[in-house]
Amino acid sequence: MWNKLVENLRRRMTCIYAGIFAALILFVVAAAYAFIWWAILDHEKQGLVTQAHHEVEEWLNSGEAPCSNDAIRQGRMLAYFVGTDGKTVILDQLGSGPQGRAIGNHRNDWPREFNSTRLLRMHGVGEDVASRYRYLAAVVPVDRGGERIGSLYMFKNVEFYYTAAFNTLFKVLCVAAALFLAACFFGYWLAGRTILPVSRMYAKQQQFTADASHEMRTPLAVIRLAIKSLQEDEDSCYSDFAKESLAMIHDETLRMTRLTENLMELARSDQGALIAAMADVDMSELCRRAAKKLELVCAAKGQTLLTEIDGGLRIMGDEAALTRLLVILLDNASKYSPSGTAVTLRVAMQRGYLLMEVRDEGCGISDDDKKKVFDRFFRVDKARSRSQGGLGLGLSLAQAIGRQHHGSIKLLDNTPRGTIVQVLLPTNACG
């Protein structure tokens, strides 16, 4: 049980460490990628504006066109020179290729202000519609002799950067995934080391509880016997006060005995040793016997114990532990119900599992408390539970027994009032 808890805790801590690490890796990758991408694009934008100015100067001085034929054919660098009215085409270097046609078709997306740039993301046109193009566009003024004669648009293919960036991102993410896996292993190891001292301390505490409970058994038995002898000693004549005190000591000693027994059982359950031996158990017979025992307890409180137990139900389990589990549930049903009510025990097969259901018409358990009642020493109403002899350990013990049989316990509301406790046990449970 404790080992399972430690393992669960270790896994949870590993998930937290790995989650934090993954978030950090993703953040660093995203930030680095965005920063590098921004720096490249900024550099390209400035470069394209400078180049456009340079081409304007060359064209004015020597009449040399801004783009070479090779650049136009390959769609690397394209240019378009229009007059000040924006319509008169002075030089069209968009070419007849698909890229040039796509750029011409997206005229509305071209940059408007001089010396500014824009990133054009376009689909091809006509039969080329499936293709995607990415161009950086810049526009610069063309002035001759102090007079503006038009604007030069230059387009640079930046597809290469996108392909390179995507490939790099893919590789970086592969490395990040490998780092993440390494972080998971490291996190698991680190969680193990972190838990180790707590685990050792808990084991010591468990041992102490088990030893202390064991050591207290004999003195408590001696005290019980001594009180009984005193109470039955006919030669002594006790005052009423002494008799009352003896009865009180007797009751509290019984309570202490039950407490130490429960603590010992819980310590055993923590060590996974609650179940002594697994065997084929006749559950129909076991439930009938347990019900018979509890019938007297119910009758003493003016309650009726009803049973609906199917015959021939058998499971693999520990007979003593299973009896203990059922007695706890029936005892609780009686303890927390008023007189005149009925406690019902139903035992049947349900979807391949053995179902033990205890219904009462008592005070019920609120939804909030349903989560807490399995905690050790938790009691909804401490005073009431104590007056009924409750220690707050019954349901934790019942849950431990259920778990060691690979089963589960569920609490439901009974209508119009009361509680339904359902225990589901696999028929071939192994301890």
Chain residues that interact with ligand ADP, rule: CB under 6 A? 332-333, 335-336, 360, 362-365, 373, 378-381, 385, 390-396, 419
Distance CA 350, CA 158 (A): 67
Q: What share of the chain is helix, strand, coil (3-state, %, to 5)?
A: 55, 20, 25
Residue corresponding to tokens 């001759």: 144
Q: How far is the CB of 392 from ligand ADP (least distance, A)?
A: 4
Smallest gap, in angstroms, from Cβ of residue 314 to ligand ADP?
27
Q: Is the dihedral of CA 283, 289, 295, 297 positive or negative?
A: negative
CB–CB of 14/282 below 8 Å? no
Tokens of 17: 């460490």
Q: How far apart are CA 176 and CA 393, in angstroms?
A: 49
DSSP codes of every residue in 52-83: HHHHHHHHHHH---SS-HHHHHHTSEEEEEEE
Q: Is the dihedral of CA 13, 18, 21, 23 positive or negative?
A: negative
- The residue (of 190 and 363) whose beta carbon lies closer to ligand ADP is 363
Side chain identity at residue 157, one-letter code: N
Pick between residue 48 and residue 333 the one whose CB is nearest to ligand ADP: 333
Minimal distance, residue 14 CB to ligand ADP, in Å? 32
- What distance in Å separates the CA atoms of residue 420 and residue 337, rounded to the nearest whole number? 12
Rounded Cα–Cα distance for residues 253 and 249 (Å): 6
To ligand ADP, the closest distance from the beta carbon of 364 in angstroms equals 6
Name the residue nearer to ligand ADP (CB basis): 117 or 334: 334
| Residues 17 and 129 sit within 8 Å (Cβ to Cβ) | no
Choose between 150 and 394: whose C-beta lies nearer to ligand ADP.
Answer: 394
Q: Which is nearer to ligand ADP, 219 or 302 (CB)?
A: 302
Cβ atoms of 429 and 405 within 8 Å: the answer is yes
- Cβ 270 to ligand ADP, closest distance in Å? 16
* CB-nearer residue toward ligand ADP: 119 or 342: 342
Least Å from the CB of residue 400 to ligand ADP: 11
Q: How far is the CB of 394 from ligand ADP (least distance, A)?
A: 3
Residue 375 beta carbon to ligand ADP: minimum distance, rounded to whole angstroms: 8
The nearest distance, CB 366 to ligand ADP, in angstroms, is 9
Beta pairing, strands 132-144 & 116-123: antiparallel
Closest CA to 55 of 89, 93, 84: 93
CB of residue 360 vs ligand ADP: minimum separation in angstroms? 5
DSSP secondary structure letters along 150-187? EEEEEEEE-HHHHHHHHHHHHHHHHHHHHHHHHHHHHH
Q: Give whichever of 149 and 411 is closer to ligand ADP, judged by the CB atom.
A: 411
Measured CA distances, 355 to 105, 421, 428 (Å): 74, 10, 14
Choice between 187 and 418, CB closer to ligand ADP:
418
Select 59 or 336, whichever has its Cβ closest to ligand ADP. 336
Structure tokens at 398: 């019942």
Nearer to ligand ADP, 93 or 399 (CB): 399
What is the rounded CA–CA span in Å between residue 378 and residue 395? 9
